[in-house]
Amino acid sequence: MSSELEREIGHDEFDPVGTLGLITIYFLILVVLWIFMYFVEFAGGDLTVVGVVV
């Protein structure tokens, strides 16, 4: 493995910006899906549970 390494990056030089970017995108997807869920569950018609029980 180590033969493929081009450079050594120590703790202080490493700034995981790409990770921050990916996690932010993931978080946005979650938020969008969460909002989408509202339409699937509620806006589509009856409230699933209340509508059935009452």
Partner 1 sequence: MSTESGTFLDQFPAEAKVVRTAFYSSFVALFVGALMGILQVLHRTDVLRIVDSADYYSLLTLHAVLLVLSFSVFFLVGIFTWAVTTSLDRGLQDLRYTWAWYGLMALGTLLAGIAVLGAFIPGLDMSAAVLYTFYAPLQAHPFYYLGLALFIVGTWLAGLDWFRSWWAWKKDNPDERIPLPTFMALTTTLFWILSSAGVAVSVLAFLLPWSLGIIDQVNALLTRTLFWYFGHAVVYFWLMPAYLLWYTMLPKISGGKLFSDPLARVVFVLFLILSTPTGIHHQYLDPGIAEGFKFIAMVNTMFLLLPSLLTAFTVVASMEHGARQRGGSGLFGWLRALPWRDPVFTGMALAGLMFAAAGFSGMINAGMNINYLVHNTWWVVGHFHLTVGTAVALTFMAATYWFLPQLTGKAIWSKSLGLVQVLVWFVGMTFMSNSMHRQGLIGVPRRTAEPQYSGFDYEVAVGSMAELNMQVIIGGTLLFISTLLFLTVVVMTVIGDKVDGLPDNGYADTLSGPEDAPLVLDNLKLWAGIAALLVILAYSLPLAAIITRGGILGPGGSPSPQFVDTLLFVGRVAADTVGGVIA
Give 26's contacts (C-beta < 8 A, 6+ positions apart): none
Please report whether residue 49 would count as binding partner 1 according to CB under 8 A: yes
- The binding track of 1-40 with respect to partner 1, each residue x by CB under 8 A or -, is xx-xxxxxxxx--x-xxxx-xxx--x--xx--xx--x--x
Structure tokens given for 31: 């938020």
Structure tokens given for 3: 């033969």
Q: Considering CB under 8 A, how many residues would be counted as binding partner 1?
A: 29
For residues 11 and 30, give the distance between their C-alpha atoms in angstroms, rounded to a whole number: 31
By the criterion CB under 8 A, which residues form the site for partner 1?
1-2, 4-11, 14, 16-19, 21-23, 26, 29-30, 33-34, 37, 40-41, 44, 48-49
